[in-house]
Amino acid sequence: MAINYDKNSGLITIETAHTSYQMLADKKGYLLHLYYGKKISGSAEYLLTFLDHGFSGNPDIAGMERVYSLDAQPQEYPFYGSGDYRSVCFRAKGNTGADGVDLRFVSAEIKDGKYELENLPSSYTDNASGEGVQTLKVTLQDINIGLKVDLLYGVFPENDVITRSVLVTNESNNKVKLEKVQSLNLDCMPGDRDVMYFHGRHEFERQPDRMRVGHAKIAAYSGRGGSSHQFNPFAILMTPDADEKHGEAVGVHFVYSGNFLIDAEKDQNEMVRLTAGLPEEGFEWILHSGETFTAPEAVMTYSESGLGLLSRRIHRFFRKHICRGAWRDKERPILINNWEATYFTFDGDKIVDIAAQAKELGVEMMVLDDGWFGKREDDLSGLGDWVVNEKKLKGTMKDVADRVNALDMKFGLWFEPEAVSEDSDLYRAHPDWAFKIPNKPMIRGRHELILDFSRNEVVDHIFEMMREVLDNANIIYVKWDFNRSIADFYSAELPSDRQGEVAHRYVLGVYDLLERLRNRYPELLIEGCSGGGGRFDAGMLCYTPQIWCSDNTDAIERIHIQYGTSFGYPSVTVGAHVSAVPNHQTGRVTPFNTRGTVAMSGSFGYELNLGLLSDEEKHEVTEQIALFKKYRHVIHTGDMYRLTNPQEADALLAAWMFVAEDKSEALLNLVTLNVHGNLGSRYVNLEGLDEDASYRDETSGMIYTGSQLMNAGYPVRDFTGEYQARQVHFVRV
C-alpha cells in the first residue's frame, strides 16, 4: 500500500516508488510534519526536538510545558493563532470577529483511487489501470468556532507525485469568514535551501530566478485575476548543491488559473517553510452553516537526482494525469494562423486562399483569428458579440469551414470569451455584467472590460453564443484568449460583505464554461492563451492541453522562454510557431531553419503571411513540416534534457534533446547564441541514452555508443555564425 496509518503511534506514512512522506498526529492532538524526501524505512519522529526557544507561545494543552511550541515544530497544516508566527495556511473568524481556530487531529482515512474536487480542475487517474493510486483524508477539527478541515492527499506511486487539497466545512450554527485557505505547506528540517520562481512580463514569461531562502519571506504572487505573465504558479525548493543532475529538489504546482501565492522563508530555528495556494490579499469567503469550501489542488514532486529528473517526472505526470480529453494522446495538427498575415483585414476568400497556400506546403489546420464577429474592425469594439459577421466573411462560418475542409484541412477559430468592449451590443444591454466598482473610474486594459463570470447568467449567455457558432460549423479547434489583467473586482450581484469572494468565483466561472464546452464538444481541441503565456498553468491544462507559450515569437527569445517553461511543463503543452522576420516583437532577423528548430520543441505551426515567402522559404516550410512529422512522437512523448543553460553569461550554445522512453531514438537541438573568433570545436554531453547501445547519427552516418555520447560528448564542428541551428537525429542500431 502507498499509505499507512498507525493508530497507536499516530504516524502516517506515504510512499511512492522513490520517496517517503511522513506526518505525525502527536499526543497533544496536533499534526506535525516529519519528512519528505528519498525513501526511508522506520519513523522519522526522532528528528523532532523540544526546547524552550523563548517568546514562542505554548498551547494550553501543554500546560506549563514551555518546551512545547508550534512555533518551533514542523507543521503539516499551520493555522493562524496557534502561537506559530511563520506563514500559515489557514485563517478564519467566527461570530466574535476574532481570529480563533485551533485545529486538532481527529482521524485518517485511506481509500483506493483519486479524490475529485467539486467545480475545480485536478489531476486524475483511470482507477482500473492498476496504478495503485490512493487517497488519504486527514480530518482536523477546530474546537473553537466549529470548523472541520479535511486534508486530502492523492498518491501516485509510479509517478512519485503527491497531490494536496483542503475541504473546509462549517459545522457550527453561525456563519464563518474564511480569510486564508491555502492548499500546501512543506516544512524542512534546519538547513539551507534555495527556491526557484519563474518571473517575467508580457512577451518574456517564465524566466528562472534562483535565490537562497533567507530570514525573510520570498514570494511569487499574482493579484491580476489570472496566474499572470509576471509569476507562474510553480516553484522549486532545492538543496544549494542542486543542478540538472545532482541534489534534492521538490517541485510544487498550484493547479489554478487565478490569483495565487507561493512563499518561502527560513525561521529563527533555521527551518525552511514553503506554502502554496490562494493569497490572503483579495480573498474572503463567507461560509454558512453546513457549507463546504474547496481549495484548489497542489501537485508536489520530489527528485533525489537534480532538476532534470524533477522536470521529467512532472512532464510524464502532466501528460497522463493533468491533460485530458480526446486530444491528450493525439498528434496535434500543424496549424497556420492568419493574424500576422491579415490582422483585421480579411474576408472568407482571403482565409480560404491562405489555407490553400498552406495546404500545398503540408500544413494541417487553418485558424481564423480575431475579427470574424460582430462589429470588429479594430480592437475598440465588438468583444462580447460572438455573432458571425456574414457580410465580412461573404457567407456563413459554415461556408468558410466547409471550403477549408474541402482542401483536406481542419478549421479553427479564435474567441476571447471573458472580455467585452464598451462599444458592443452586449455591453449596451448589460453594463452591469462587466467588472466595475461603483463610484470609481474604470480601469481599462487593451480597450477591454472583463465580464463578471462569477454570475451564472453571464456564463450562460456566453456559452449560448459560442454554442451557436460551434454547432453550425465544423470547428475542431478553439484558441481561447484572455488579454488583460483584472483590477476592478466587483460583482453587482453579491452583497458588500461577499465582494472578497469575487476573484475566486470568477475563476470558477471560467472553469464552468470550459467544462461545458468539454462536455458538449468532446472532440474539440482548445488552446489556451492570455496575451501569450499570461495564464500558462496546470489549471488551464486540465481543459486546454496546449497553451500559446508567448506572444514573443523571436526564436532566440523563445529559447529562453521555452527553457524556463520546460522546468515545469512538457513540450506537448507548449504552443510554438514560426513567424516572419524582422521579428514583430524584437526586430531581430534569424534564419528560417533556426525559427523552425526552436518552434518544433512544442506544438508546431506558422504565424506569418505565406504569400510573402520566397520559393526557397516555401521549400523550407515543406521540409520543416516533414521533419516535424518525423520527430513529433519523440518531441511530444519522449523525455526532455536541458544540456546547456542559455541564460549563462556569454553562453555559446543552446542545446537540448528529446529521448524516446524506450531509448530507441533521440533528437538533439543546437542553436548558436554567441560567436567568437577561432573557437575550435565544442562538445556537448548527451543524456538519457542507453549506455550499452550504439546510435547512428542520421546526418553524418557516424555510429557512437551511448556511453561515448554521454560521457565523452558529441563534437559540434563546422558550426559558425550567429543564431544558426542544427538538429541531429540518433537512432539505436
Question: What is the spatial distance between Cα 219 and Cα 214, in angstroms, rounded to a whole number?
Answer: 12
Amino acid at 291: E
Q: Which residue blocks in 156-201 are alpha helix, DSSP H?
A: none
| Residues facing residue 37 across a β-bridge | 20
Question: What is the spatial distance between Cα 234 and Cα 570, in angstroms, rounded to a whole number?
Answer: 13
For the record, the C-alpha cell of 327 comes out as 486530444
Tell me the average pLDDT across 390-409. Answer: 98
Phi, psi (deg, nearest 5) at residue 127: -65, -15
Task: Answer yes or no: are the C-beta atoms of 315 and 642 closer than 8 Å.
Answer: no
For the record, the C-alpha cell of 438 comes out as 461603483
Q: pLDDT tens digits, residue range 537-553?
A: 999 999 999 999 999 99
Task: Answer yes or no: are the C-beta atoms of 234 and 274 closer than 8 Å.
Answer: no
Q: Which residue blocks in 140-268 are alpha helix, DSSP H?
A: none
Amino acid at 678: N
Q: Which residue has the higher pLDDT, 447 or 340?
A: 447
**pLDDT value at 717 more than 90:** no
Determine which of 65-74, 222-231, 466-475 has the lowest per-residue pLDDT on average.
Answer: 65-74
- Which uninterrupted H or E stretch holds 358? helix 348-361
Task: Kindly indicate the confidence band of residue 22, based on its pLDDT and cuts at 50, 70 and 90.
Answer: very high
**pLDDT value at 588 more than 80:** yes
Phi, psi (deg, nearest 5) at residue 353: -65, -45
Question: What is the spatial distance between Cα 600 and Cα 640, in angstroms, rounded to a whole number?
Answer: 13
What contacts 15, CB < 8 A, 6 or more positions away? 2, 3, 4, 21, 39, 157
> Which residues are annotated as catalytic?
537, 617
Q: Which residue blocks in 362-501 are alpha helix, DSSP H?
A: 390-393, 397-405, 425-429, 456-471
User: What pLDDT score does 128 carry?
Assistant: 60
Of the candidates 186, 193, 233, 187, the one whose C-alpha atom is nearest the C-alpha of residue 212 is 193
Q: Which residue blocks in 638-722 are alpha helix, DSSP H?
A: 706-707
Q: pLDDT tens digits, residue range 621-677?
A: 999 999 999 999 999 999 999 999 999 988 999 999 999 999 999 999 999 998 888
Task: Kindly indicate the confidence band of residue 100, based on its pLDDT and cuts at 50, 70 and 90.
Answer: confident
What contacts 451, CB < 8 A, 6 or more positions away? 384, 417, 418, 419, 420, 433, 434, 435, 458, 462
For the record, the C-alpha cell of 356 comes out as 490553400
Tell me the average pLDDT across 325-334. Answer: 96
Task: Kindly indicate the confidence band of residue 109, based on its pLDDT and cuts at 50, 70 and 90.
Answer: very high
Amino acid at 623: E
**pLDDT value at 695 more than 70:** yes
User: What pLDDT score does 700 carry?
Assistant: 94
Question: What is the spatial distance between Cα 58 and Cα 607, in angstroms, rounded to a whole number?
Answer: 62
Determine which of 183-197, 360-374, 456-470, 678-692 has the lowest per-residue pLDDT on average.
Answer: 678-692
Sign (positive or negative) of CA dihedral 395, 398, 404, 405: negative
Question: What is the spatial distance between Cα 477 and Cα 480, in angstroms, rounded to a whole number?
Answer: 10
As a whole number, the mean pLDDT across the chain is 96
Q: pLDDT tens digits, residue range 170-219?
A: 999 999 999 999 999 999 999 999 999 999 999 999 999 999 999 999 99
Q: Which domains does the chain have, with CATH numbers?
A: 3-321 (2.70.98.60), 365-534 (3.20.20.70), 642-732 (2.60.40.1180)
Of the candidates 161, 157, 117, the one whose C-alpha atom is nearest the C-alpha of residue 137 is 117
Per-residue b/e over 693-710, b at no fewer than 16 CB within 10 Å?
ebbbbeeeeeebbbebbb
Amino acid at 474: N
Q: Which residue blocks in 454-542 are alpha helix, DSSP H?
A: 456-471, 502-520, 538-541
- Which uninterrupted H or E stretch holds 480? strand 477-480
Residues in the chain: 733
Peptide bond into 582 cis (omega under 30): yes
| Residues facing residue 414 across a β-bridge | 479
Q: How far is CA 715 from CA 252, 579, 593, 644, 681, in A?
A: 37, 30, 21, 14, 7
Angle (nearest 5°) at CA 501 between 498 and 503: 140
Burial class (CB in 10 A: 0-12, 13-18, 19+), 63: exposed
Cβ atoms within 10 Å, residue 501: 20
Task: Answer yes or no: are the C-beta atoms of 698 and 631 closer than 8 Å.
Answer: no
Question: What is the spatial distance between Cα 87 and Cα 273, in angstroms, rounded to a whole number?
Answer: 8
Task: Kindly indicate the confidence band of residue 719, based on its pLDDT and cuts at 50, 70 and 90.
Answer: confident
User: What pLDDT score does 302 carry?
Assistant: 98
What contacts 287, CB < 8 A, 6 or more positions away? 168, 170, 175, 176, 177, 178, 293
Task: Answer yes or no: are the C-beta atoms of 386 and 426 closer than 8 Å.
Answer: no
User: What pLDDT score does 127 carry?
Assistant: 61
Q: Which residue blocks in 521-668 are alpha helix, DSSP H?
A: 538-541, 555-566, 592-599, 615-637
Amino acid at 379: D
Tell me the average pLDDT across 582-592. Answer: 95
* pTM of the predicted structure, to 2 decimals: 0.97
Question: What is the spatial distance between Cα 103 and Cα 82, in angstroms, rounded to a whole number?
Answer: 9
